[in-house]
Amino acid sequence: MTLKRRRLALRRRSVGYSQEQLADRLGAERSTVGRWERAETDPMPWIRPKLAKELKISLDELDELLRNVEADPRDRSIQGHTEAGTVTFICNPDFWDDDVKRRELLQDTTTLTVGAAAAPVLAALSQGWRDSEPSLPGASVSRGMIDDWENVYDVHVASYVHDPPLVVLEALAADWADIAPHLRRNQPPDVDLALAHAAARHAFLIAGGLVEIGDRRHSRRWWDKARSLADKSEDQSLASYSRSWEVTTRLSDDREDPARLIPLVQEARRLAGTRPTHSLIYAVAVEAEAHAAAGDLRAATAAIRDVETLFPKLPTTGRQWGEDRLRYVQSQIYAWAGDAKRAGEAQDAARPLFRSGQHQTVQLKLHVPVIHARNDPEQALAQALGIIDALPEERRVARIRSNARRVISVLPEKARTLPAARDLQALTSGI
């Protein structure tokens, strides 16, 4: 890939600023300045006058610097060739239409992460491992294969937390291509339940990834499949979890009607039962989010109080719904409800619990301008724009854009006509 740079960096150095110093003067991130200079992003309109002033040039001169893009001499790539181990993956709109036909292509997505040279070896090893596993009596799968699909789910979740959506989908697609043929065959009852359980968890992650890339049509069929498989597994906790996951993910799509999603998360709460469990507290937390998105802040606050009551009662063994999730959802709902004191306390408690590479860390940062949007709209908008502008395009996933739009949703009516509000709306309304 050809590296690019702008003469913007030369101008910055001519006035004696390092990237960090210029970022501090602008109230931006150092990485943001770096992306401007590498022509990866453009400064937002609201910050350009301030940038021009710091660089001691006119706005017209700044525009000329931004247009002036050239190859970086450090670029070692050769025109017409790519670096070894890279590959372009093409995903057409009907890519997900058939579960099995594209199996060989999907298996080859390994090349995206390990390089073209290693992909055939890994594919052969994977097939060899499956062939060596003795099938369960009367089944087309082995116990080891089902366990492997269950265990790899955690790998996909970790990727979902950190990686761009297409990376997550490509890995999920490869595993689904292995699972799908066995779903079509008659299996013994106990194998059928275990296979449905593993497949359901993959299906709702696939549906979530499709929402993140803006593919609403195909996500709907995968939500249906996830619910159907979760119900087939006869695991009520999984059936509850899949519905909660669906609601919280679909809420990041601004084309959804939040009020129409509330019955689905209430069904998730019913399926979870009354004992304090991971699936119950998750359903209640998502119900709070859905009520807030629908504008019923009283119901949202009541639900978050239920979450706070449930949290100390959760079992101390087994899968945990941790303090990081509690503090995140408190920050989100209290910020949305305008309770600055409780939102601030949740923010202070949450920050040490999240790592810098997580999408949720950015979401948490965006709760801060939501807290202040009612009282200081211009500062809140500038802060939200700065957070989004600091992100590379591939990391501006739907759930991050959704949190940014919440800043606009709580602005006073007059403030929604500010240029910065229009900029934020334009920046977060699509892929």
- The 10s digit of each residue's pLDDT in 346-396 is 999 999 988 877 888 999 999 999 999 999 999 999 999 999 888 888 788
- Which of 304, 214, 307, 295 minimizes the C-alpha distance to 252? 214
Render pLDDT for 34-80 as a digit per residue (tens, 0 to 9): 778 877 778 877 788 889 899 988 888 888 888 766 554 444 333 33
What pLDDT, on the 0 to 100 scale, is given for residue 37? 82
* Residue 38 vs residue 417, higher pLDDT: 417
Render pLDDT for 94-122 as a digit per residue (tens, 0 to 9): 433 444 333 443 343 444 444 455 656 76
Q: Please list, in sequence order, all residues whose beta carbon lies within 8 angstroms of the beta carbon of residue 156, skipping any fewer than 6 positions away.
A: 168, 171, 172, 175, 202, 205
Other residues' Cβ atoms within 10 Å of the Cβ of residue 318: 8
Domain ranges of the chain: 4-71, 84-232, 235-321, 336-431
4-71 CATH choice from 3.30.70.560, 1.10.2020.10, 1.10.260.40, 3.30.1370.100? 1.10.260.40
Render pLDDT for 292-342 as a digit per residue (tens, 0 to 9): 999 999 999 999 999 999 999 988 765 567 888 899 999 999 999 999 999
User: For residues 98-121, b (16+ Cβ closer than 10 Å) or e, as one string?
Assistant: ebeebbeebbbbbbbeeeeeebee
**Residue 116 DSSP SS3:** coil
Total-model pTM: 0.69
Helices 419-428 and 377-389 meet at what angle, rounded to 10? 30
What pLDDT, on the 0 to 100 scale, is given for residue 170? 87
Q: What is the mean pLDDT of the chain?
A: 83
